[in-house]
Chains A and B, each alone.
Chain A
Amino acid sequence: MYKIVRKEVLNSAVKLMEIEAPYVARKAEPGQFIIFRIDENGERVPLTIADSDKEKGTVTIIFQEVGKTTKQLGTLEEGDCLLDFVGPLGKASHLEGYKKVAVIGGGLGTAIAYPQAKKLHKLGAEVHVITGFRNKDLIILEKEMAEVSDRLVIATDDGSNGNKGFVTDMLKKLIEEGNRYDLVIAIGPLIMMKMVSKLTKEYGIKTLVSMNPVMIDGTGMCGGCRLTVGGKTKFACVDGPDFDGHEVDFDEAMRRQMMYKNEEKRVLEAHECRMEGMKNA
């Protein structure tokens, strides 16, 4: 069992949990992920590691309540336990040797981009962080990102924070201002990573994206997470999750993400029905 030692509500849909998992914490590196399962009937869900503390033996995850499992996870409190928590899985990001990097986080992707920015900052790179959210109430990790970046740009789709636009607009502006990045890291919804990769290709800037497809085991056994990169089939769990954004077939990845949409809806509705029933009881 893996105890939740800290829980924080970051915005209306996004929560942070620090989980006691000393073995995982000892090895966790930016870019890697864990798989958790809440209870015996639960599904295995991968989440990228947001932070880890070797001394305390804890791993931090940040998640958006979108489906049944993440909503159920959100109802757990400090002191509660997860049945399973396995990791660190996947390859760590290679962040050494870069001088100036733009780190882009879209929505929840900001949580995954944070450890990357932190590590790059520690390695001495000049780090520009761009984060994007639908509106100002959804902004997360502003303080944390500010601490690990030389420049922080936060954009909102509706302009409610006073800076309207998409992360691609912001990146373009920074590049046009004369910033010469030797690496762009883009983490967020598939469509955002696709658009960033398209833009950086025009400028010839190397771009890393973090893929988070459906998977079961996370060790290369099921192949459910396969995607096409540079015309070849790759498994996100063992070959990634980081890939060259200019090589990833995003359209296929978006299609594959829809595979269980109906089932996810069905199981979520059943869950919400039960929760509603409990409230009314």
Chain B
Amino acid sequence: MPNMSLNKVKIPEQEPNVRNKNFLEVALGYTEDMAKEEAQRCLNCKHRPCVAGCPVNVQIPDFIQLVAEGKFEEAYYKITETNSLPAICGRVCPQESQCEKLCVRAKKGESVGIGRLERFVADWYMANREVKPEKVKKLNKKVAVVGSGPAGLTCAGDLAKMGYDVTVFEAFHTPGGVLMYGIPEFRLPKALVQREIDNVRSLGVEIKTNMVIGKVLSIDELMEKEGFEAVFIGSGAGLPSFMGIEGENLNGVYSANEFLTRINLMKAYKFPEYDTPVKVGKNVAVVGGGNVAMDAARSAKRLGAENVYIVYRRSEAEMPARLEEIHHAREEGIIFKLLSNPTRILGTEDGWVKGIECIEMELGEPDASGRRRPVPKKGSEFVLDVETVIIAIGQTPNPLIVSTTEGLDSHKWGGIIADDETGATSKKGVFAGGDAVTGAATVILAMGAGKKAAKAIDEYLRNK
């Protein structure tokens, strides 16, 4: 008999006023009993709408059934048939716009907590079982993967399981890409990311850090001189966009990339134990409405800022951030200045930020994205007194690889042109996926692209 409660079993969380002062994970995860109780809310529908909403088609009702029966290990194997990074996806996937959106239970009440259950299963497995890589027959063929974020790690892991010799090239000193430098500790613990990276390594994948492909070696050199028969490019969308308004180069203005990298990768929140500092100030304005903006705002709060504003030009309904992040940010005391658009950043005489001038907006006709276009209200300018401004309005792909690879076609905006199904690019033997192709998107979409590309690379090398 299913559990007909309209609401998800609540997930234990740190109290908002405690957690906004530390970097420990916000959600604490289900216990075994909670997981079983929540799993029983699944109706095990025949037409399985949730599966279609998952970019990597996790067999959701099947794994949830196993959880309900207390078969957690089996549930883990069911998930990992199609998803190699469940502990990460369970935490950072926008479930409310994917699997959970299509859940039959969501028609009346809350959907089944698919993300929470996925996370539970992955955490349970990590805590209770040794990950043991299966022995595979080596094919003695080398494949290079550029970038060790979600796309690259997934592609590398899948190829290694098929028997390829995979080398991953990472520009930073630590593998993990956006999982390490972008998403904060309190949302995605780095020890957990490290475990997933270790798992990929245990499959025989070699990860070379400090290797900026396009500089130290070109894609052509990888294929012609270093003996790689195929290359997967998963170099992400690393180039921060700025607004182009007055005052953006004042001291105290950060790109969200810089602010978050200082904190997450360089551990500036432990300064001076770690050498890299970060300036936070008492009053902080974060410009943007996506997950990155929420991450930056919540990090600033944790670093001691008293007033942290999210400045977003549309209304909350249009915010691209996950609902849960918006909700968590509010709980932690982040102040939302919606329908407000920055017009300039004001500075002191010696060049430090002292405020941000914004103008009120109202929503007009829908634009190309289907969202109603914000239009400024004449004469409605106002100033927020802040010492720090963090610009989180998006990133575009880094031109480094495209500009150094002959015959690799890209869009005008910088994304590499690749086939949706295979990741094949205009250059023979070169595949691409993730944010480098789509522009800034989600972890799960990048993983999906890495997976498809691994399959396509295998086919390509078999027929070569």
Q: List 16 A-B contacts (CB under 8 A).
A: A23-B217, A41-B273, A44-B266, A68-B275, A85-B210, A86-B210, A89-B212, A216-B265, A216-B276, A217-B171, A220-B400, A221-B239, A223-B242, A223-B258, A233-B248, A255-B351
Q: Is the interface of A mostly helix, strand, loop or mixed?
A: mixed
Q: Is B272 an interface residue when CB atoms closer than 8 A count as contact?
A: yes
**Which of B's residues lie within 8 Å of A, judged by CB?**
171-173, 209-212, 215-217, 238-240, 242, 244, 248-249, 251-252, 254-255, 257-258, 261-262, 265-267, 271-277, 279, 350-351, 398-400
Contact B277 A233 (CB under 8 A): no
Task: State A83–B249 Cα separation when bound (angstroms).
Answer: 32
Which of A113-121, A156-164, A257-265 forms part of the interface with chain B? A257-265
Contact B173 A87 (CB under 8 A): no
Which of A99-107, A137-145, A224-232 forms part of the interface with chain B? A224-232
Convert A197-236 into 0s and 1s, putting 1 for each residue whose CB lies closer than 8 angstroms to a CB of B: 0000000000000000000111111111011100001000
Task: State A140–B134 Cα separation when bound (angstroms).
Answer: 59
Contacts of A252 in B (CB 8 A): 249, 351
Contact B257 A223 (CB under 8 A): yes
Q: Is the interface of B mostly helix, strand, loop or mixed?
A: loop
Contact A217 B261 (CB under 8 A): yes
Q: Is A42 an interface residue when CB atoms closer than 8 A count as contact?
A: yes
Contact B272 A219 (CB under 8 A): no
Task: State A217–B357 Cα separation when bound (angstroms).
Answer: 30
Contact B400 A37 (CB under 8 A): no
The interface on chain A, measured as residues whose beta carbon lies within 8 A of the other chain's beta carbons, has a size of 42
In the complex, chain A residues 47-102 whose Cβ is within 8 Å of any chain B Cβ: 68-69, 83-89
Q: B172 contacts which of A88, A217, A256, A266 (Cβ < 8 Å)?
A: A217
Contact B257 A88 (CB under 8 A): no
B96 vs chain A, min Cβ distance (A): 29
Q: Is A27 an interface residue when CB atoms closer than 8 A count as contact?
A: yes
Given the interface contacts A217-B172, A221-B240, A256-B251, does A267 sit within 8 Å of B210 by beta carbon? no
Contacts of A222 in B (CB 8 A): 240, 255, 257-258, 261
Contacts of A221 in B (CB 8 A): 238-240, 257, 261, 398
Task: State A233–B246 Cα separation when bound (angstroms).
Answer: 11
For the complex of A and B, the 3 pairs showing the least CB-CB separation, nearest first, are A263-B277, A222-B258, A255-B351
Q: B274 contacts which of A41, A220, A264 (Cβ < 8 Å)?
A: A41
Task: State A86–B279 Cα separation when bound (angstroms).
Answer: 26
Contact B249 A23 (CB under 8 A): no
Q: B239 contacts which of A27, A89, A220, A258 (Cβ < 8 Å)?
A: A220
Contacts of B211 in A (CB 8 A): 23, 86
